[in-house]
Amino acid sequence: MNLIKVIIFTVLLQMPLIASEADELMSRANQLYQEDKFDESIVLYETILNNGLISENLYYNLGNSYFKMGQTGKAILNYERALKIDPGNEDVEYNISIVKARTTDNIREVPKLFIVEWWEGFLAAFSTTTWLLIVVAVYIMLLIFLGIYFTGKTGRLQRLGFLGGSVCLAALIISIILLVSHVNRVTSSEYGVLIEAEYAVKQSPSSSSSDVFIIHEGLKFSIEDKVNEWSRIRLSDGKVGWLPSGTFEVI
């Protein structure tokens, strides 16, 4: 038991040090970026990530550095990772549009039903953390109204507690459904970005298989299946094929 306490204390003691080191590296990396030393800033940003410390700002800055280095695939990859943490970030979305305008592929997305597109957009409007905070906030409000109902000394207060509690209960159920739907959408949908300059997508998971179409650096696609070192991908226009894992990175 004492050993466990020592381990926990040691970890807690090291956490501020890790955060402090990360802040110093981040400041140094940002300074290198301002000095146009993009390759050096990339090394520091990647070092922070390799230590398990991530944030939308870190991915955003790393994407900017890769963009300045002319590596559109890595730039889009990190911008998309930033959006995954902070959906709807206007700065990130703007930079993605700038980089995508310089990519080769111009894929026309298969149109979705309005209700499907609206639902997916609504779920993606907030991050998982935000949806969780909404659930917690509604739950706390429900407890407050329940307290008013059970402790209210007048009929008016009890009615207020009952009505407020009923509304909060319905809101809690809805918010939980939305949170679960959002988490399922995030965990069930895996996307990748091509980091090679160009690659011929294969018909089957084999290098000797015939080519079905060619894609270029920076293209985003969904990952549907994996066989050994190969992944089955689907483009936004519905085209399907196989890529070796080393040609892309998962968002």
In the chain, where are the structural domains located?
Answer: 2-100, 114-188, 190-250
CATH topology of 2-100 equal to that of 190-250? no
Residue 213 pairs in a beta bridge with: 201
The ranges of the chain with pLDDT < 70 are: 1-19, 109-112, 188
Angstrom distance (rounded) from CA 93 to CA 96: 5
| Cβ-contact 85, 66 below 8 angstroms | no
CATH class of 2-100: mainly alpha
Report the DSSP beta bridge partners of residue 222: 191, 234
CATH class of 190-250: mainly beta
> pLDDT of 48-95, one tens digit each?
998 888 899 999 999 999 999 999 999 999 999 999 888 888 999 999
Q: Is the separation of the CB atoms in 238 and 248 below 8 Å?
A: no
Residue 227's pLDDT is what? 93
Which two structure tokens, joined as six digits, stand for 114?
């309005």
Question: Three-state SS for 208?
Answer: coil
CA distance 166 to 138: 12
